[in-house]
C-alpha cells in the first residue's frame, strides 16, 4: 500500500504480558505486527482496555515487549539501554490526552516547549524565546503565549502547545494517544487539520490511537482494529464502512454516532462485555460476542488473511479453517455470515509479517 522505502517503524510479533495476581498472566498485546511509514497515519482503534496504549508505550520505549521486536530504521530499539536509549527517544515523540496534567503547571509555555531541545543540547538557553515563538507559530498560536502557563489556556490551545513540543525535536514519528478525545468536536477538527498540515510539511509518521472509529477514519491512511490485545483487521482508511469484514469492526461501525446518520435506524450495541484479558477465550478473541460464531471459532484462533488488496482480517469466515467447513458441513445453519464468501471472496493465508501475496485462492473452487 505504501512505499517500503518510507518504512520508519515496524513492530514484529510484539507481545506484552503483565504479571497478575495468583500467578496469572495478563496478555495486553498478542503478536502484533504493524508498520508505520513516513508521511502516513496509522489509526489504531478499539474499545477501552483493548491494549492500544500498551502497544504505543512500547513504540515510545516507555515499556519493553515481553516478546518481539520494534524496528526503528531497521534497528531493534527494544534492546537499547542507557545513552543510546535516551538519544533514540528524540525520533519518536508523543502527544497525550491531557497536556494540563502531563506537564509541570509551574512551567511557562516557553519552557515546556523548549525543554526537550535543551535536554538534547539542540539550543542554548539564550535561544529559548526565539525558538518558542517559532514553534508556537508553526502550531498557529500567537508568539506572545510563550509567557503564559498551561492553566491560562483553552483545551485546544494546550493541545497545540503539546504538538509544538512534540515537533520541536523534528521527530520521524509522533504517537497521539487519545490526543483529541477530550476536546469539543469543532476544536478536534482544527487539531486534526493542524496535525495533517504538519505531517505533510515534515513527512512525519503518525500513530493515532483512538476509540472513535469515525474520527480515526477521517484522516488515517491505514486503520488497524484491535480487540482484546489482538489486531483483528487492518485496511486502507477508505475501506472503513461497508467494505470492512470483521464482525467486530462492523459492530464498531454500527455503534458509531454520526451527525449525518439515518436517525430512523437504531444505533446497535455490541452484545455483552469485553472479557478480561486474564480470561480471554481460547479460540477467536471475539467469539463470546460474535453473532457469527461457529464451532471452530471457540477453539482455533484465526490468523490474519488478505481479503482485498492491503486488507487483512482475522476471522474464520475468511479462512480455510472456518467458513469453508462451516458452510459445507453445517448446512442447517442458515446465517448471513458467509454471504461474502458465497459471493466469492478471496482467501489468502500467511504467517503474520509475511507478504500478503503468499497464497491466494478463490473460495468455492
Ligand X SMILES: Nc1ncnc2c1ncn2[C@@H]1O[C@H](COP(=O)(O)OP(=O)(O)O)[C@@H](O)[C@H]1O
CB of 71 to ligand SF4, least distance (A): 30
CB of 239 to ligand X, least distance (A): 22
Place of cell 512534540: 166
Nearer to ligand SF4, 171 or 302 (CB): 302
Q: Which of 286, 306, 327, 348 binds ligand SF4 (CB under 6 A)?
A: 286
Q: What angle do CA 98, 204, 88 make, to 5 degrees?
A: 80
Nearer to Mg ion, 53 or 317 (CB): 53
Q: Which of 70, 114, 135, 292 binds ligand SF4 (CB under 6 A)?
A: 292
Give dist(CA 249, CA 99) in Å, integer.
30
SS3 call for 185 = helix
CA-closest candidate to residue 137, choices 201, 91, 83, 76: 201
Q: Name the segment binding ligand SF4 (CB under 6 A); options: 59-67, 166-174, 236-244, 290-298.
A: 290-298
What are the angstrom distances between the C-alpha of 126 and each of 18, 119, 136, 141, 338? 45, 14, 17, 22, 67
Note the residues at the interface with ligand X (CB under 6 A).
Answer: 18, 26, 28, 46, 48-54, 277
Q: Which of 284, 304, 341, 345 binds ligand SF4 (CB under 6 A)?
A: 284
CB of 183 to ligand X, least distance (A): 18
Place of cell 509522533: 174
Place of cell 486534526: 192
Three cell numbers at 61?
520505549
Q: What angle do CA 214, 216, 222 make, to 5 degrees?
A: 120
Q: Which does 290 bind (CB under 5 to 8 A by kind): ligand SF4, ligand X, Mg ion, none?
A: ligand SF4
Per-residue DSSP letter, 303: P
CB of 52 to Mg ion, least distance (A): 5
Q: What is the DSSP string of 198-211?
A: HHHHHT-EEEEEES
Note whether 316 binds ligand SF4 by CB under 6 A: yes
CB 182 within 8 Å of CB 97:
yes
Sheet strands (E) in 73-170: 75-76, 92-95
Q: Name the segment binding ligand SF4 (CB under 6 A); options: 13-21, 29-37, 64-72, 291-299.
A: 291-299
CB of 355 to ligand SF4, least distance (A): 23
- Cβ-based neighbours of 144, under 8 Å, separated by 6 or more: none
Place of cell 512500547: 58
* Site size with Mg ion, rule: CB under 5 A: 1
Give dist(CA 28, CA 229) in Å, integer.
5
Alpha-carbon torsion angle 193, 196, 202, 205, nearest 10? 150
Note whether 53 binds Mg ion by CB under 5 A: yes
CB 23 within 8 Å of CB 203:
no
CB of 29 to ligand X, least distance (A): 8
Q: Which does 50 bind (CB under 5 to 8 A by kind): ligand X, ligand SF4, Mg ion, none?
A: ligand X
Nearer to ligand X, 50 or 133 (CB): 50
Nearer to ligand X, 177 or 349 (CB): 177
Nearer to ligand SF4, 45 or 290 (CB): 290
CB of 15 to Mg ion, least distance (A): 18
Note whether 247 binds ligand SF4 by CB under 6 A: yes
Q: Which does 216 bind (CB under 5 to 8 A by kind): ligand X, Mg ion, ligand SF4, none?
A: none
> Contacts with Mg ion in 74-103 (CB under 5 A)?
none
Q: Which of 99, 229, 277, 302 binds ligand SF4 (CB under 6 A)?
A: 302
Residues in contact with ligand SF4 by the rule CB under 6 A = 247, 284, 286-287, 290, 292-294, 297, 302, 315-317
Amino acid at each position: 500500500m505504501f512505499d517500503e522505502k518510507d518504512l520508519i517503524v515496524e513492530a514484529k510479533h510484539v507481545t506484552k504480558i503483565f504479571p497478575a495476581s495468583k500467578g496469572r498472566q495478563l496478555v495486553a498485546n498478542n503478536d502484533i505486527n504493524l508498520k508505520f511509514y513516513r508521511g502516513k497515519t496509522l489509526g489504531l482503534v478499539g474499545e477501552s482496555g483493548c491494549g492500544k496504549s500498551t502497544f504505543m508505550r512500547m513504540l515510545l520505549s516507555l515499556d519493553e515487549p515481553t516478546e518481539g521486536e520494534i524496528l526503528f530504521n531497521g534497528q531493534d530499539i527494544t534492546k537499547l539501554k542507557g545513552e543510546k536509549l535516551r538519544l533514540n527517544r528524540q525520533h519518536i515523540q508523543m502527544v497525550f490526552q491531557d497536556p494540563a496534567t502531563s506537564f509541570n503547571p509551574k512551567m511557562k509555555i516557553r519552557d515546556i516547549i523548549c525543554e526537550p531541545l535543551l535536554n538534547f543540547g539542540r539550543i542554548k538557553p539564550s535561544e529559548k524565546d526565539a525558538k518558542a515563538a517559532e514553534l508556537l507559530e508553526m502550531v498557529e498560536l500567537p508568539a506572545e503565549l510563550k509567557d503564559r502557563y498551561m492553566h491560562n489556556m483553552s483545551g485546544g490551545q494546550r493541545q497545540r502547545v503539546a504538538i509544538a513540543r512534540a515537533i520541536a525535536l523534528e521527530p520521524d514519528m509522533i504517537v497521539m494517544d487519545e490526543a483529541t478525545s477530550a476536546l469539543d468536536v469543532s476544536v478536534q477538527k482544527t487539531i486534526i487539520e493542524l496535525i495533517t498540515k504538519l505531517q505533510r510539511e515534515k513527512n512525519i509518521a503518525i500513530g493515532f490511537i483512538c476509540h472513535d472509529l469515525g474520527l480515526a477514519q477521517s484522516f488515517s491512511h491505514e486503520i488497524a482494529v484491535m480487540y482484546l490485545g489482538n489486531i483483528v483487521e487492518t485496511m486502507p482508511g477508505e475501506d472503513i464502512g461497508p467494505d470492512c469484514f470483521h464482525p467486530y469492526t462492523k459492530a464498531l461501525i454500527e455503534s458509531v454516532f454520526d451527525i449525518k446518520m439515518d436517525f430512523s435506524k437504531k444505533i446497535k450495541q455490541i452484545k455483552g462485555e469485553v472479557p478480561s484479558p486474564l480470561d480471554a477465550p481460547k479460540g477467536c478473541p471475539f467469539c463470546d460476542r460474535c453473532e457469527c460464531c461457529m464451532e471452530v471459532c471457540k477453539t482455533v484462533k484465526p490468523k490474519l488473511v488478505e481479503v482485498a488488496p492491503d486488507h487483512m482480517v482475522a476471522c474464520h469466515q475468511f479462512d480455510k479453517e472456518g467458513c469453508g467447513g462451516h458452510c459445507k458441513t453445517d448446512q442447517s445453519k442458515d446465517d448471513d455470515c458467509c454471504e461474502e464468501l458465497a459471493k466469492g471472496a478471496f482467501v489468502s493465508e500467511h504467517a503474520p509479517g509475511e507478504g500478503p501475496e503468499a497464497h491466494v485462492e478463490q473460495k468455492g473452487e
